[in-house]
Structure 1
Amino acid sequence: MRRLKKVMGIIIGTVFVGLGVSLYKLSSLGQDPLSAMVFSIMYIFNNEYLNYTFFYLMINFIFFLFMLIFLRKEVHIGTIINLLLTGFFSDFFLRLFLYFNMNTNNGILKIVYGLLGLIIVSFGIALYGGARMGIAPYDSLPLILKLRFKKLSYQLSRMIIDLLCTIVALVIGVLILKRTDIINFNTILTFLAMGPIISFFSKIIGKYIYKKEEQPFN
């Protein structure tokens, strides 16, 4: 029963991540730092046969190698579920929102979508990661950084990783390619706030849902 509860937590958490990502997309206010970096690299190659999904998987594969070397204990079923299903749920919810004509040109509503996306993604990461049955390669990077530099908190480690991705996207996308559609409100909001929000939800989830598990994002 305890294992089933954890698997359900992983799946539900991944659903929340997909829902939050779809709200990011619906807001049309830019990408999260990882997606911004992936898009900037994709634009550099400018190949019609190499799409976003290809570069997203390739970059995550590199992160996965880091995970195998430095944080092998966090490679589990949750790693696979998150990688395979996040994109599916994101596309599903986005199509659903567009079907009900929820896209908007209202600037305030776009900001609301972006904020809701941030909160929902953060909750989903805390929920699926809290099961301690694997995390996504990108979500492992702050934990690897925290292991290497003991004095860093999870919040600060996450902010550093998100900031590095934002800088790569900024240098490639904005300075080299002269594109202004890569870095936007959601990118800045995510690197400033996602780490602290994940940590906040992680404490609550650890207390009320996974009561006997040490939470990875505290």
Structure 2
Amino acid sequence: MKINFSFKQFFPSKWRIKLPVMLAAVVMMGITLSVLIEIGWGTDPATFMNYHVAALLGTEDIGFIQIMDYAVLLIFVILFGAQHIGFGSIANMCLIGFVCDFSRWIWNLTGFHQFLAAASMGVLIPIFAATLLLFVISAAVYMNSELGIAPYDAIPTIISASAKKMPFFAIRIIFDYSAIAIGLLAAFFARNNIVNPVASFAGIGLKTNIFGSACMSLLLGPLISVVGNWMRKVMPVFQNEEAAQK
């Protein structure tokens, strides 16, 4: 088996400009995820899985758990899609979870955690919407930086390259729901209650909500694609070389 990997893929065109932008996007993803977890209406499927695997291991910190989970997925990526590895892969794998954990510590220290726990629906809805928008934009910037993608994001792309008759969005949705299923299984064994949608939206409890994560599985992929297409049109630095020459 030939592994399609070269260190040149870490340094694409305009990488010196893209690298700090990508790192800022990854940090913002960690910050916004911390707020989504605090609100409790749902996160992206990968974080949903990591959060409940962490609970199964007796912690709410997801930094080390994300590295462990993604390290397993990385083996598959190295064998079948090593061309997707880059600085973005490392940043996503190693930074997002720890930034999220640190941010949640800050929210608890400053009282923001307590504020969200006591906030009304009229306050939580705009905070949730703004945070989700920032997360999607940040994810789009990171994914379109051409500096590599996380093992979690690379696997659906690798599968799609082999299963060409199946639309990518369908593969991504199936993969995301598989991550949610793993999270649910971990939550079951951890006895980490999943709040039902009615209770959560009534402001009862702040555990991660399966309803929100399930909806994000359907929406995040298309939204990230839309934002990514817009970025390539208005920001020349994110255009690939072929598009830039046209």
Query: TM class, shorter-chain normalised?
Result: 0.7 to 0.9
* Correspondences of 1:182-197 after superposition (within 5 Å): 182-197=208-223
Tell me the equivalent position of 2:239.
211
Q: Deviations over 1:76-99 (max 9, x none)?
A: 112112223223433454455552
Indicate whether 1:87 and 2:97 are aligned.
yes
Structure 1 alignment gaps of length 5 or more:
none
Indicate whether 1:148 and 2:162 are aligned.
yes
Cα 1:145/1:112, change in 2 over 3 Å? farther
| 1:182 Cα offset (Å) | 4.5
Contact 1:70 1:144 in 2 (8 A): yes
Indicate whether 1:139 and 2:157 are aligned.
no
| 1:125 Cα offset (Å) | 1.8
Indicate whether 1:163 and 2:177 are aligned.
yes
What is the percent sequence identity of the aligned residues? 22
When normalised by structure 2's length, the TM-score is: 0.72
Tell me the equivalent position of 1:112.
126
Contact 2:45 2:213 in 1 (8 A): yes
* Correspondences of 1:43-82 after superposition (within 5 Å): 43-44=55-56, 46=57, 52-82=62-92
Contact 1:125 1:198 in 2 (8 A): yes
| 1:178 Cα offset (Å) | 7.1
Contact 1:26 1:113 in 2 (8 A): no
* Matching residue's letter, 2:214: I
Aligned residues: 213
Q: Secondary structure at the match of 1:117?
A: helix
Moved more, 143-152 or 60-69: 143-152
Q: Deviations over 1:158-216 (max 9, x none)?
A: 2222111112223442488473245434312321211111111111122222123579x
When normalised by structure 1's length, the TM-score is: 0.80
Q: Distance in 2 between matches of 1:18 and 1:47?
A: 21
* Matching residue's letter, 1:208: V
Contact 2:41 2:208 in 1 (8 A): no
Q: Distance in 2 between matches of 1:205 and 1:51?
A: 33
| 1:43 Cα offset (Å) | 4.2
Structure 2 alignment gaps of length 5 or more:
1-12, 195-206
- Please report the RMSD computed on the Cα atoms of aligned residues, expressed in angstroms: 3.0
Contact 2:137 2:224 in 1 (8 A): yes
Q: Secondary structure at the match of 2:119?
A: coil
Contact 1:24 1:186 in 2 (8 A): no
Q: Distance in 2 between matches of 1:25 and 1:43?
A: 13
Tell me the equivalent position of 2:47.
35
Tell me the equivalent position of 1:22.
34
Tell me the equivalent position of 2:20.
8
Contact 1:15 1:86 in 2 (8 A): yes
Cα 1:152/1:42, change in 2 over 3 Å? same
